[in-house]
Amino acid sequence: MTDDQVLVTGGTGFLGTHVIAQLLGSGHRVRTTVRDLGREDELREALASAGVQSGDALQLVVADLSEDDGWNDAVEGVRFVLHVASPFPPAMPDSDDDVIRPAREGALRVLRASRDAGVDRVVMTSSFAAVGYGHEPTDEAFDEHTWTNVDAPLSAYIRSKALAERAAWDFMDSEGGDLELAVVNPVGIFGPPLTSDLSASTGLAHQMMTAMPAVPRLATTVVDVRDAADLHLRAMTDPAAAGERFLASTGEPLTFQEVARILRAAVGHDLPELPLLPDEAVHQAARTDPGMAGMVGELGKVRRVSSEKARTVLGWTPRSSSDALEATARALRDLGLLGE
């Protein structure tokens, strides 16, 4: 076991559990922040389901992104910090600032505490939401040079990711000291959840397989959660990652119809293809449904994403989109969430 201790924020989340599993599997000691220590058994069981015995190599501590308390203790003696936690609203917030403030201020709390504790490097989980929105898609793929235009009419979540990442880089420029920062910007994260507490993307997959009668005219790019976790570990240790951001995407965009087809076929669901929800129906529903309102501006848009930088600089070799989606479907079935 290595002497390097790693702090992972948001360790009970979809990506966080996989990050911890890979860290423990590679011999690191891990400390993770949670808001409720009552979830320790759940986390350890999730890791065990991935074939990882956590034992004394895993420690849980209480810290909340919205509070100062706990962060100095969380980073004490830590060499690397993987800041995976980020607020994702379960429903439309009363104010955009209810999402933006905790994302931005939480990132700054983690960076400030890490700098003061002498941490070597922070790897921050951002998102493609900080890269490719507020611009009209073209045939050219988005890469790490692009930033989301936060002055465009965007959802609070998308703006929060862009503003939080911008704040992190600004902090590093002005007061980062000897601390290093690397950022990972995943697209839609699919793959096998380790718990039945589903993320937004795996929840969407679940709906496509169980309850969704039609899909809007939308498209998405995909990355497997295990590959997203692997990219975090590469960005943590590779000297070339310092001061860089890395998009995590496996390939070409898929329409929601294609996503649903792959998910259903993976578990033998011989069902008719989900029909398209007419654009007009989305516009009508958006008048009363905040979730649908966020889709209106995305109808028919296809964004291509390049992960060439992660592949060439860090040697990252992700699974295919189909592999990620098929693993999602099988995991949902094995968790007993498909009603079979």
| Mean pLDDT on 221-232 | 98
Q: What share of the chain has pLDDT > 90, as a percent?
A: 79
Tell me the per-residue pLDDT of 268-277, one tens digit each, with 9 for 90 and over: 987 778 999 9
Q: What is the mean pLDDT of the chain?
A: 92
pTM of the model: 0.94
pLDDT digits (tens, 9 = 90+) for 134-156: 998 888 999 999 999 999 988 88
Euclidean distance between the first and final Cα of the chain, in Å?
A: 41
Map out the domains of the chain as residue ranges.
5-335
pLDDT at 305: 96
CA–CA gap between residue 84 and residue 90 (Å, rounded): 18
pLDDT at residue 208, as a whole number: 94
- Name the band, by pLDDT with cuts 50, 70 and 90, for residue 91: low
Tell the CATH topology of 5-335.
Rossmann fold (3.40.50)
Q: Is the pLDDT of residue 315 over 90?
A: yes
- Nearest-10 Cα torsion for 316, 197, 51, 81: 50
Over its C-alpha atoms, the chain yields an Rg (Å, rounded) of 19
Of the listed ranges 112-121, 205-214, 319-328, the least confidently predicted one is: 205-214
CB-CB contact of 88 with 200 (8 Å): yes
DSSP code string of 201-231:
HHHHHHHHHHT-S-B-S-EE-EEEHHHHHHH
pLDDT at 114: 98
